[in-house]
Amino acid sequence: MSTAAKMIQGTPVLGKMFKVNGNDDLASINAWPSLIIMTSFVWLAIALLLGVSMPIIQYFGLNIFLFEFYTALTLHGAAMTFPFAFSLMVGVSLHRAGACMGKKADGPLVVLYYIFMNIGGLLFTLSVLAGFKITYTVMFPLPVVGAQMGVWPMWSVVLGFTGIALILVSMIILYPIQILQMIFWGKKHDELELSPRTLNDPGMLGMLIAVLVLLVSGLPLIVTASSVLLYLYGIFPAAWIGWAVTPVVFQFVFYIFAHNLMESMAIMIVSAVYGTLPLYLADGTRKLYSDKLANAALWILLITSVTSFFHHFYTMFPALPSTFSFHGNVMSWGTGIGGAFTIFTILATIWKHGLRPEPGVMMILAGFVIYCLDGVTAMIIGNVAMSYHLHGTLWVGGHAMTVLLAMSLMWMGVLYHHYPVLTNRNPDADKCRQSYRMYFIGGVGMMYTFMAGGAMGIPRRISNWVESGYMGIGVFILIFGLILSYGISMFFVTLSKSREITT
């Protein structure tokens, strides 16, 4: 039995849901992906509790340990984005890639990914508990300025940056190289190839595009952040890293990556939808309406999304020249054209062949609807004129949250689809239906509440909602947050009530 299978077996509660048969032929595409997914759900539980606690902290004006707004905010954002949403994607996509390519998903890169991501997450958590409250977007040079002002200790900056560096290496180097290795190299094992696919399939092409985006857009950040970290360790002298600590350099490379991280995750999940939807067509066709159109959508999403990151800086004119703003504007709305191609492909496929409404595929479609709704919120702040009235408000925070919720719901649907192969058990269909319905209501409700908050001009990341008269929005966030939490809890029930498949 592999180390991963043993770790799963030794984990209380969740271990039962993700237990794999460590001795069967498929252990090499099941065990590590399953462990990565299981651990991502531990982070989700933490993120969920912190998320729900935020309006409560605001209402009661709490300021104790975890129950302090900026502590909860920083940890919630970081846990939700990296060790949960990204790792959920990694776990499911590693299993998918293994089963489509007939390649093992348990090599040293996978093991290192797991260690780096989770140790990184733990170190960052410890640094935040030590006072390092920078939000998950770093806001450089805030980490250094905060230490200089005595707001948090310098050692917490070193600890936090170490955690961030481990997380970045796992996302930008280890995971993409593992996927590239599985696509292009590595020994093929016929017994692992459950659903053969090639790069001509939209379901695999998107995976390749997504990891290349991570690798290319992330490398400048790896170089910059490593330089800063080596200085913090006392290995590099200050003279060597002057360029890296220039705020505009650090924040630009950070946003180029952070923006493309989301785009890459979106391309990855759209490709997973293309791969999964045909398996649920009512007439048994198992084909998309048009592979060409689906691939075109992926290429359009790639071309437009990569340089649309300028929309993060519109309000810095003239430091960001108008021409880049206009380019960002056009590209941001160009992603909508890629989205329109995707919507058409999915609807034409369903219209042409009918759909078996099984919980997994319905969960994916519910997530896709939220993803499209969120896409419009992104395009609106991608318009230069409207951005000047919305940038930095709850609208932006709501967009970041909603895209993560949408992608996570779609991955949970894909996980539901792969679950029988992963664990040799069938999940509970009725509970899953309850789960995605409540998740959908909670997610969409949260999205509109945040957008309304943005339209009202509520700044994101402020800890005085009550004094500022914004608590009404806080109450709605709490209500929809609880509905969403119930939906996610039901997904755990779905898995915990799964039944062994007997042949």
Partner 1 sequence: MRDFIYEDGWGAFVVLLFFHIPFLIFFCRIVYKKAFVNTGPSGTAPEKYPKIEIMWISTVAVLFILVNVLSVVYMPPVSTAALTKSGTPFQEVDITAKSWYYDMSSREVEVGVPVKFSAKSGDTVHGFSVYHPDGRIVFTMMLMPGMESPTTLVHTFEEPGEYKVRCLEYCGIVHHAMQDLLVVR
Token duo for residue 236: 């590099």
**CA of residue 315 relative to chain centroid, distance:** 26
Nearer to partner 1, 70 or 486 (CB): 70
Triad 28, 32, 36: Cα angle to 5°: 155
Q: Minimum distance from CB of 110 to partner 1 (Å)?
A: 35
Residue appearing with tokens 């993560």: 404
User: Is residue 315 near partner 1 by the rule CB under 8 A?
Assistant: yes
User: Is residue 501 near partner 1 by the rule CB under 8 A?
Assistant: no
Q: Which of 152, 138, 309, 149 is nearest to 229 (CA)?
A: 138
Residues 18-77 that bind partner 1 (CB under 8 A): 70
User: Is residue 383 near partner 1 by the rule CB under 8 A?
Assistant: yes
Nearer to partner 1, 9 or 463 (CB): 463
Tell me the per-residue interface mask from 114 to 133 with partner 1, x by CB under 8 A, - otherwise: -------------------x
Q: How many residues bind partner 1 (CB under 8 A)?
A: 81
Q: Minimum distance from CB of 221 to partner 1 (Å)?
A: 17
Asked whether the beta carbons of 210 and 298 are under 8 A apart, the reply is: no
Q: Can you tell me the distance from the alpha carbon of 311 to that of 189, in angstroms, rounded to the nearest whole number?
A: 45
Nearer to partner 1, 186 or 354 (CB): 354
Asked whether the beta carbons of 194 and 80 are under 8 A apart, the reply is: no
> In the chain, what is the straight-line distance between the N-terminal and C-terminal CA atoms, in Å?
22
User: Is residue 220 near partner 1 by the rule CB under 8 A?
Assistant: no
Residues 158-187 that bind partner 1 (CB under 8 A): none
Residues 268-307 that bind partner 1 (CB under 8 A): 282-283, 289, 293
Backbone dihedral region for residue 21 (phi beyond 0: left; psi -120 to 50: alpha; all else: beta): beta
Residues 68-87 that bind partner 1 (CB under 8 A): 70
Residues 386-405 that bind partner 1 (CB under 8 A): 386, 388-393, 395
Looking at 246, 307, 426, 496, which residue binds partner 1 (CB under 8 A)?
A: 246
Q: Which of 385, 230, 212 is nearest to 305 (CA)?
A: 212
Residues 320-379 that bind partner 1 (CB under 8 A): 322, 325, 329-330, 333, 336-337, 340-341, 343-344, 347-348, 350-357, 362, 365, 369, 372-373, 376-377, 379
Q: Minimum distance from CB of 381 to partner 1 (Å)?
A: 8
Looking at 317, 420, 430, 472, which residue binds partner 1 (CB under 8 A)?
A: 317
Asked whether the beta carbons of 134 and 73 are under 8 A apart, the reply is: no
* Beta-carbon contacts of residue 433 (< 8 Å; ≥ 6 apart): 359, 362
φ/ψ of residue 355, rounded to 5: -135, 135
Looking at 94, 173, 384, 405, which residue binds partner 1 (CB under 8 A)?
A: 384
Identity of the residue numbered 98: G
